[in-house]
Amino acid sequence: MRFTLQSKEDDTRPVFITGNFNKWNPRDLSFELTATTDNIYFIEIEDEKLPELIEYKFTRGGWGNVEIDRFGNVTPNRKIEKKELETEDEVERWRINWGPFKQEFFPVVEIISEKFFIPQLNRTRKIWALLPYNYHKTKKDYPVLYLQDAQNLFNEGSAFGNWEIDKKMSILAEYGRGDVIIIAIENGSDDRIKEYVLDNDSITENAEGKKYVRFLADTLKPYVDSVYRTKPEREFTGIGGSSLGGLISIYSGFLYPEVYSKLMIFSPSLWLNPENNFPQMNFKNPYDIKVYMYGGEQEGSEMTERIQLFEKTMEGWEDATSMQFEFKVSINDEGKHQEFYWSQEFPRAMEWLYFDTQDDPKELAIKAEIVKNETSEI
């Protein structure tokens, strides 16, 4: 069957077709279209690879770069029967790194405190809450995600860039996937390393990680649950971060499995614990924990190898600890140790951790149509 596409928007990125014939992989090199002239592309797919009713979309290599209409809305799944032999389609516009972002879906950003007291450390910290865009118009209770390094999560002007979680949450909300409260804790600047390390004198003296994770679980979470309409149970509570923030989030999850059931771990500093000697060895009660781990091949320090070893180690300890780990490991061949790449991964991790899908998190745009239209089936 022959698929022909005309792009009405000039764009030099390659075009892919994805659908119910390739598990909705948005960057399947076997399904890259050939460019001809005047923004026209085509691909011929063998009939035996196609179902009788074909559902499909076009992307520029990922769900963050999927086709959209002229108003910036995600287009419905295209459908055609295989017996028609060929089809001609047009694309008005393409997303670029998940944009454009719609202001009406942006989360409500509140400062919990400019100087929230940390009794375990005898110091204060600025803490933010990002609430669903319609939080104050509903009576719903919401799951919560606690994230480290708030300075690099959404505020403009960060020296290292930011995750753009406010923008990414607006996309998730547009797709019907925005019902999560995010609590963003600023790091302690000069105290960051001490607070994010459990006990390792090779990079810092007087590590304070144990006190910091106690603060999150014993002080901050009860306060958040008392102020906001949260679902306080562990099955609705997650924690995450990147680099050292990712490492301390692993420790938080393992030291307090009765508090957290979801871990969002980006490019963790696993080199500080090369033996993966984490405290889950002492667990007596069984817990289920979902772990979304991301790393880039260009990060150095054997990042992706350490992530894969971490997953293997945890799986090996499941029987000994009565733990059940559900892993999703995402490796970016081009990924570097930078906020830009963590920003791209964030909506995929949110989708997988909080919306109980068993599918590839990159199917975000497709599943959104099910929520919006209640007619599409993947």
State pLDDT tens for residues 207-260: 899 999 999 999 999 999 999 999 999 999 999 999 999 999 999 999 999 999
Q: What percent of the chain has pLDDT over 70?
A: 89
Query: Six-digit token pair at 110?
Result: 């509140």
CA end-to-end distance (rounded Å), the chain: 20
Nearest one of 204, 85, 180, 194 to 129, comparing CA atoms = 180
Please state the pTM of the whole predicted model.
Answer: 0.80
pLDDT of 282 reads 56
Average confidence score pLDDT of the chain: 88
State pLDDT tens for residues 326-359: 999 999 998 999 999 999 899 989 999 998 654 4
Measured between alpha carbons, how far is 292 from 102 in angstroms, rounded to an integer?
Answer: 27
Nearest one of 154, 25, 176, 167 to 99, comparing CA atoms = 167
Residue type, 179: D
pLDDT of 242 reads 97
Domain annotation for the chain: domains and CATH numbers: 2-94 (2.60.40.10), 103-373 (3.40.50.1820)
The per-residue DSSP string of 181-196 comes to: EEEEE---GGGHHHHH
Cα dist. 38→32, 49, 69, 121 in Å?
17, 29, 19, 63
User: pLDDT band at 373, cuts 50/70/90?
Assistant: very low
Neighbours of 294 (CB within 10 A): 27
The average pLDDT across 92-107 equals: 89
Backbone angle region of 321, left / alpha / beta, with phi > 0 → left and psi within -120 to 50 → alpha:
alpha
pLDDT of 88 reads 96
pLDDT of 123 reads 96
pLDDT above 50 for 376: no
In the chain, DSSP assigns E strands to: 2-7, 16-19, 34-35, 40-44, 53-59, 67-68, 78-81, 86-91, 93-94, 108-118, 123-131, 144-147, 181-185, 237-242, 262-266, 288-296, 324-332
The average pLDDT across 153-164 equals: 81
pLDDT of 202 reads 64
Nearest one of 85, 75, 93 to 47, comparing CA atoms = 85
Residue type, 177: R
The average pLDDT across 305-322 equals: 82
| Residues 116 and 175 sit within 8 Å (Cβ to Cβ) | no
DSSP 8-state code for residue 107: P
Cα dist. 43→3, 5, 31 in Å?
5, 9, 7
pLDDT of 109 reads 96
Instruction: Tokens 């022959």: give the residue.
Output: 2
Query: Residue 249: CA atoms inside 13 Å, Cβ hemisphere, count?
Result: 32
State pLDDT tens for residues 283-311: 667 789 999 999 999 998 799 999 999 99
Measured between alpha carbons, how far is 210 from 212 in angstroms, rounded to an integer?
Answer: 5
Bridging pattern class, strands 324-332 and 288-296: parallel
Query: Residue 354: CA atoms inside 13 Å, Cβ hemisphere, count?
Result: 29
Cα 332 → chain centroid:
13
State pLDDT tens for residues 10-68: 998 999 999 999 989 888 999 999 999 889 999 999 999 999 999 999 999 988 899 99
pLDDT of 378 reads 31
Query: Six-digit token pair at 326?
Result: 């559900």
User: Is the model more confident about 135 or about 323?
Assistant: 135
Edge-to-edge strands of the sheet including 40-44? Answer: 34-35, 40-44, 2-7, 86-91
User: pLDDT band at 317, cuts 50/70/90?
Assistant: confident
